[in-house]
Structure 1
Amino acid sequence: MKKYFLSVAILFSLLLGQQATVFAQKEFKILSYNVLKGLQQDSLIHKEYFEWVKAINPDIVAYQEMNGFTQKSLEQFAAQYSHPYAIQSKLEGFPVALSSKYPIVNVKKVVDNMWHAFIYAKINGIHIFVIHFSPFNLQKKQEEVRNVLAHAAEIPANEKILIMGDFNSVSKRDAAEYSEAMVKGMQEREKKEAHIRNLNNGQIDYSVIDAVEKAGFKDTFWLTNKKFVHSIPVVKYGKANPKRIDFMFANQAIAKEVKSSVIIHDEHTDNMSDHYPVLVTFGSQK
């Protein structure tokens, strides 16, 4: 009898080990998307989005600009693409939000000292920050990124951490894409609109993204791509001054698991929002 129970226990352990191995090797997809005021609360756009996102089948979706949603309506929205878990940062203004196939735990919703807000949560063993920085003020963005990085610094470095969203900032790695004509256009706009102060002494500033990389985070896009792809504007809003301001950053513990990182340009994303979404796929590299 003892031998029988011992054999069952060994078999059960082996099965668990096989399941763990399969799970470790399974691809895990995260989508980050600024959806322009909750996909403009347009039922036709929502319907198009549901079909589009179901085809991609992400495990997690990080949203910016989920305007007009309540907690209940957000849960109903996420259920349309089989995500039973969803949270958002606040009700008013421009909320950030998360939906997931898996439980969302240890949630923090930080509104203080943020232009919009950020969410921190842990999902499936990954520490996730969803951010949306100031669109108008460089100094505020610098304060916001310090705030987020200070929270991230509290997490042990050997744990998996991702920071994603609309940074309203550009990367030095993309500097060759930003022309003098674009800079002059930004200068002219700041002359006309006093509330916009994104330039630094009249020039493009890279300090926000520099700070994230200095803290040890990797830009997932350049881990798997060799050619620049912009995240704004989409086709619907013209072709002027293409920029990459939507990012997903990974710390060293999870950067090694990045299999692909794409900014999705297709017939749907050309029109659903004013930003293109970022999709990152993770998986074992063994």
Structure 2
Amino acid sequence: MRNLLLKLSPFFLLLALFYHPVNAQNDSIKILSYNIWNGFDWGKDLDRKNKMTEWLKEVDADVIGFQELNDFTPEKLDAWAKEFGHEYSILLKEDGYPIGITSKQPIQLKTKMLGGLWHGMLHVKTYGIDFIVVHLSPHDWAFRRKEAEIISDYTQKSVLMEENSKLMVLGDFNSQSPFDVNYDAQNTFSLKRKQLSDSLRRAKNGPDAYQNLRFGSIDYSVISKFLSLPLIDVVQKKQADHNKKSFPTLVLGNNLSKSEFEKNQQRIDYILVSPNLENQLIHAEIINQGTPDILSDHYPVQATFKYIPGK
């Protein structure tokens, strides 16, 4: 018996190295995108970080794309990821407002892109799926348009040209969707605040000042560009129009009345996927109530898919 175990042990060792568990209950994969707000105040808000860690453990996502990992290093992200059950992580950069990704399975780095982008773009592969994490300009619609062109062009040539490739583009796009035009029309407080902010910038910096609005109106061209690749907006498929708000959360609403706060909310965070993942979509939502009210200024976006191993 001992000799048999010795002969089999290399086999089991190899099996352990190449086996990475997926959700055992229903063979699904859960994806999360989360802007965590200034890296927990550049690492100083340990209470908020601990609360988010506990919440992430409860959610038990398989892959998480993060934005605003301020003050993180690759080592810090790796250590934090292990706290909520992710053995693998990649950070785009260490300065400014970094983006990153964590996963329960090994991550293959494809591209780190900084040139021409406000915060950069991270392209990796895990679970047989290409993930592109983004965080577009928070200040200027024209700059976001250029970013959308750069990222879409890269995506088309580097991912979508490959037959049967599976793709998710996720993050904080700082852009509103043409699907939400009716919702946006009812939430006029946000529009008025942006109009005032833009006018103050113009008065201070002249005609070349950053402008969040396109000639005073919401610009829908950025998300339209990604949808035209084509990519599928998973929350649009699964969540009611009146509940698709991802920013701001209650932590930024303390100085507003309830009515003003509700009319200031908008959707600017997304998970967009290639059409061949649409039929695998089980559930998608912006988790905009409960504990996430106090964890960040953004709400997280979550999507669950049937897991079909990729190549």
Normalised by the length of structure 2, the TM-score is 0.81
Runs of 4+ in 1 over 3 A off after TM superposition: 22-25, 179-182
The one-character-per-residue Cα deviations of 1:181-221 (angstroms, maximum 9, x if unpaired) are 54333222111124431211221110000101111101000
Structure 2 residue 138 is matched with structure 1 residue 114: no
- The CA distance in 1 between the partners of 2:62 and 2:107, in whole Å, is 12
Q: Are the structure 2 counterparts of residues 251 and 224 from structure 1 closer, same or farther at C-alpha, using a change threshold of 3 Å?
A: same
The equivalences for 1:102-251 within 5 A come to 102-154=105-157, 155=159, 156-179=162-185, 180-194=188-202, 195-228=209-242, 229-238=244-253, 239=261, 240-251=263-274
The equivalences for 1:11-160 within 5 A come to 26-40=27-41, 41=43, 42-154=45-157, 155=159, 156-160=162-166
The one-character-per-residue Cα deviations of 1:152-184 (angstroms, maximum 9, x if unpaired) are 112225211010000000001111122345433
Give the aligned residue type for 2:118: W
The one-character-per-residue Cα deviations of 1:236-286 (angstroms, maximum 9, x if unpaired) are 21125110000000111112211111111233211111000001101169x
- The CA distance in 2 between the partners of 1:216 and 1:24, in whole Å, is 31
Q: What is the SS of the residue equivalent to 1:92?
A: coil
Give the aligned residue type for 1:243: Q
Structure 1 residue ranges without an equivalent (≥5): 1-18
Structure 2 residue 289 is matched with structure 1 residue 270: no
Q: What is the SS of the residue equivalent to 1:130?
A: strand
What is the root-mean-square deviation in Å for CA atoms of aligned residues?
Answer: 2.2
- Residue of structure 2 in register with 1:253 after alignment: 276
Note if contact 1:157-1:253 (Cα within 8 Å) is conserved in structure 2: no
- The CA distance in 2 between the partners of 1:222 and 1:157, in whole Å, is 26
Structure 2 residue ranges without an equivalent (≥5): 1-19, 203-208, 254-260
- The CA distance in 2 between the partners of 1:198 and 1:105, in whole Å, is 35
Note if contact 1:64-1:165 (Cα within 8 Å) is conserved in structure 2: yes
Normalized per residue, the structure richer in helix is 2
What is the CA distance between 1:23 and its match in structure 2?
7.8
Q: Are the structure 2 counterparts of residues 182 and 267 from structure 1 closer, same or farther at C-alpha, using a change threshold of 3 Å?
A: closer
Q: What is the SS of the residue equivalent to 1:55?
A: helix
Give the aligned residue type for 2:298: H
- The CA distance in 1 between the partners of 2:67 and 2:215, in whole Å, is 29
Aligned residues: 267
Q: What is the SS of the residue equivalent to 2:148?
A: helix
Note if contact 2:99-2:134 (Cα within 8 Å) is conserved in structure 1: yes
Q: Are the structure 2 counterparts of residues 142 and 103 from structure 1 closer, same or farther at C-alpha, using a change threshold of 3 Å?
A: same
What is the CA distance between 1:47 and its match in structure 2?
1.1
